[in-house]
C-alpha cells in the first residue's frame, strides 16, 4: 500500500490527514505530490476499456480526485466534490436537492452571493424561501413549513459573525424531514466539522481558508451519505462547473498548511479583537472568541478556536467606516478573505451590496477584517492608525 491516509493503527490526526489524504505518490514517477493532470481525455484500450477509471475530465480528473478524497477525509464525510467556485457548488447542491414547490429556510446573515442565488435565481424556478435567525432555534422552527426541504446555515456567518448551534438546528431540521446544509467557509474543517454535529451537507468556498493564499477560486461539497454523494456527482457531471486540475492542485497544496494557518489566524484575530474592544472609536466588536459575544459558549463547544474573521462598528457612521477602510495600509482593501495576507472591507458597499434593502442588510458603519498571519504587532499598529487617522 502506498503512503495514503489509511492507517493500520486507526484514524490519524487532522494535520496528518490534511497532508496525506488523497495525496498518494504518483504511480508512474513516484512524485510525492499528485501531478497536475492537465488533460481533457484518456486513451481507451478498446471501446469502453478504461485504464485508470478515467474517460473525460469533466466527469473525473486525477488531480481533482485527489482533492475530493482529501476534502471528504477532512470533513469526516464519505464523498467530497470540487467545483469551479463556492457558488458553483451551491448551485449544484440546490439543483440536486430542490424542485418547484419546495421551500428552504435561509439565514438572516449570510454571504451576499448566497442570498442572491436564492432570491434572484432559485426563486425563479418556483422554490420558496423564508429568512430565519438561525442563531435562535425557535426562529428556525417557526420558519419551517411542510414543504421545507433545506435549512441553510452559515456559522460563523458573513459578515456579522453570528453563531448557530449546529447540533440543535440539525435536530430540528431532521424532525421536519429537511436537510441541514452548513456553509463552513469561515471556520474550515480544522476548526469545525458540521457532519459530526448532525449536518447533512458541508459547503465551502475553497477560495478562502482552504486555498489560503488568495490565488484560486473554488468550491466544495462534502456529504456523509453515499446515495446523496452519488446524486451530487451525477449533477456535478451533468452541469459541469467542475474545479480544473491546476485549481485543484493549488487548493490541495493550500490545505497542507491549513491547521498551522488557522491556529495563527485565530491567535492574531484574538489580539486584534482585544485591541478593538478597548479602542474609543470602536462601538461594537463582533468576534465569537469574545466572552460577551452572544454565541461564545456555543462557538466554544463546536469550534476548536474562533478563526480569523472579525467585524466591528465605528463611531461616526458609514463615512467613518469607509475612511477606516481607505486609511488601512497593511490591511489591503479588498473583497474575499481567508488568505495569509490581512484584508479590510466595507460590507455594505462591497461584499454585501447585493443584500441592500433585504432582511440581510448589514449595518452601514460595519467594517470587516480578514486577519492574516503577519506579525500581530504590525496588524495592531496599522488598525490603530486607520482608526485614529494619524
Ligand atoms: N460562502 C461564503 C461564506 C463566502 O464568503 C463566499 C464568498 O465570499 C461564498 C460562499 C461563495 O464562494 P465563491 O466566491 O468561491 O463562489
Residues facing 382 on adjacent strands: none
pLDDT of residue 10: 60
Nearest to 78 by CA among 201, 211, 219, 239: 201
Ligand 1 pocket test, pick from 114, 121, 206 with the greatest ligand atom count within 8 Å of Cβ, gives: 114
Atom of ligand 1 nearest to the CA of 154: 3
Residue 174: phi, psi to the nearest 5? -60, -45
Judge whether residue 62 has pLDDT over 60: yes
249 and 264 share a domain? no
93 and 150 share a domain? yes
Contacts of 362 (CB under 8 A, 6+ apart): 159, 160, 347, 348, 352, 355
- Asked whether the whole model's pTM tops 0.75, one would answer yes
Give the C-alpha separation, 84 to 41, whole Å. Answer: 19
121 and 225 share a domain? yes
Judge whether residue 185 has pLDDT over 90: yes
Q: What confidence category does residue 7 fall into, taking pLDDT thresholds of 50, 70 and 90?
A: very low
pLDDT of residue 48: 84
Ligand 1 pocket test, pick from 84, 85, 87 with the greatest ligand atom count within 8 Å of Cβ, gives: 87
Atom of ligand 1 nearest to the CA of 114: 10
Give residue-wise pLDDT tens across range 356-368: 888 888 999 999 9
CATH number for the domain that contains residue 232: 3.40.640.10
Are 77 and 253 in contact by the 8 Å Cβ rule? The answer is no
Residue closest via CA to ligand 1's atom 12 equals 86
DSSP category for residue 199: -
* Domain stop point among 211, 238, 255: 255
pLDDT of residue 9: 53
Nearest to 323 by CA among 264, 390, 224: 390
251 and 273 share a domain? no
26 and 72 share a domain? yes
Residues in the chain: 390
* Domain stop point among 215, 239, 255: 255
Judge whether residue 307 has pLDDT over 70: yes
Judge whether residue 264 has pLDDT over 60: yes
236 and 264 share a domain? no
198 and 296 share a domain? no
128 and 22 share a domain? yes
Residue closest via CA to ligand 1's atom 4 equals 111
pLDDT of residue 221: 99
- What is the distance in A from the centroid of ligand 1 to the CA of 243? 15
Residue closest via CA to ligand 1's atom 11 equals 86
302 and 322 share a domain? yes
Counting the structural domains of the chain, the total is: 2
192 and 324 share a domain? no
Give residue-wise pLDDT tens across range 101-156: 999 999 999 899 999 999 999 999 999 999 999 999 999 999 999 999 999 999 99
Atom of ligand 1 nearest to the CA of 217: 15
- What is the distance in A from the centroid of ligand 1 to the CA of 19? 24
Are 81 and 218 in contact by the 8 Å Cβ rule? The answer is no
333 lies in which domain range?
259-388
344 and 384 share a domain? yes
Give residue-wise pLDDT tens across range 219-231: 999 999 999 999 9
* Domain stop point among 195, 221, 255: 255
Nearest to 266 by CA among 179, 110, 370: 370
**Catalytically active residues, by annotation:** 58, 111, 183, 208
Atom of ligand 1 nearest to the CA of 207: 15
Give residue-wise pLDDT tens across range 246-263: 999 999 999 999 999 999
- What is the distance in A from the centroid of ligand 1 to the CA of 202? 13
pLDDT of residue 341: 98
Judge whether residue 355 has pLDDT over 90: no
Judge whether residue 6 has pLDDT over 50: no
Residue closest via CA to ligand 1's atom 8 equals 336
pLDDT of residue 3: 38
Which ranges of the chain does DSSP label H, i.e. alpha helix? 14-20, 62-74, 86-97, 112-116, 137-143, 166-175, 188-191, 226-239, 245-256, 258-277, 296-302, 317-327, 376-388
Residue closest via CA to ligand 1's atom 6 equals 205
Around ligand 1, the residues with Cβ closer than 6 Å are: 85-87, 111, 113-114, 154, 158, 183, 185, 205, 207, 217, 219
CATH number for the domain that contains residue 383: 3.90.1150.10
304 and 238 share a domain? no
Amino acid at each position: 500500500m502506498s503512503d495514503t491516509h489509511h492507517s493500520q493503527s486507526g484514524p490519524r490526526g487532522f494535520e496528518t490527514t490534511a497532508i496525506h489524504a488523497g495525496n498518494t505518490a504518483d504511480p508512474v514517477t513516484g512524485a510525492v505530490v499528485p501531478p497536475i493532470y492537465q488533460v481533457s481525455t484518456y486513451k481507451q484500450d478498446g471501446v469502453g476499456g478504461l485504464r485508470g477509471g478515467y474517460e473525460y475530465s469533466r466527469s473525473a480528473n486525477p488531480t481533482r480526485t485527489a482533492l475530493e478524497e482529501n476534502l471528504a477525509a477532512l470533513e469526516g464525510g464519505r464523498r467530497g466534490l470540487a467545483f469551479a467556485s463556492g457558488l458553483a457548488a451551491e448551485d449544484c447542491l440546490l439543483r440536486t436537492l430542490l424542485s418547484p414547490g419546495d421551500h428552504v429556510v435561509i439565514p438572516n446573515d449570510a454571504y451576499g452571493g448566497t442570498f442572491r442565488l436564492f432570491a434572484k435565481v432559485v426563486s425563479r424556478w418556483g422554490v420558496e424561501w423564508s429568512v430565519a435567525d438561525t442563531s435562535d432555534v425557535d426562529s428556525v422552527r417557526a420558519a419551517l413549513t411542510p414543504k421545507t426541504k433545506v435549512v441553510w446555515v452559515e456559522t460563523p456567518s458573513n459578515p456579522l459573525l453570528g453563531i448557530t448551534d449546529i447540533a440543535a438546528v440539525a435536530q430540528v431540521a431532521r424532525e421536519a424531514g429537511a436537510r441541514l446544509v452548513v456553509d463552513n467557509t469561515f471556520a474550515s474543517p480544522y476548526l469545525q466539522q458540521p457532519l459530526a454535529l448532525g449536518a447533512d451537507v458541508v459547503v465551502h468556498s475553497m477560495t478562502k481558508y482552504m486555498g489560503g493564499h488568495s490565488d484560486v477560486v473554488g468550491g466544495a461539497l462534502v456529504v456523509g451519505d453515499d446515495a446523496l454523494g452519488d446524486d451530487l456527482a451525477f449533477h456535478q457531471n451533468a452541469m459541469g462547473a467542475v474545479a480544473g486540475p491546476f485549481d485543484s492542485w493549488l487548493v490541495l497544496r493550500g490545505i497542507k498548511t491549513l491547521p498551522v494557518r488557522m491556529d495563527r489566524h485565530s491567535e492574531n484575530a484574538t489580539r486584534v479583537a482585544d485591541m478593538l474592544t478597548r479602542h474609543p472609536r470602536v462601538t461594537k466588536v463582533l468576534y465569537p472568541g469574545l466572552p460577551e459575544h452572544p454565541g461564545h459558549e456555543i462557538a466554544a463547544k463546536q469550534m476548536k478556536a474562533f478563526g480569523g474573521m472579525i467585524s466591528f462598528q465605528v463611531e461616526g457612521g458609514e463615512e467613518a467606516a469607509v475612511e477606516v477602510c481607505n486609511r488601512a495600509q497593511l490591511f489591503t482593501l479588498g473583497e474575499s478573505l481567508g488568505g495569509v495576507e490581512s484584508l479590510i472591507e466595507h460590507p455594505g458597499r462591497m461584499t454585501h451590496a447585493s443584500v441592500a434593502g433585504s432582511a440581510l442588510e448589514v449595518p452601514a458603519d460595519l467594517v470587516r477584517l480578514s486577519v492574516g498571519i503577519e506579525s500581530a504587532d504590525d496588524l495592531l499598529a496599522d488598525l490603530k492608525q486607520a482608526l485614529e487617522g494619524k
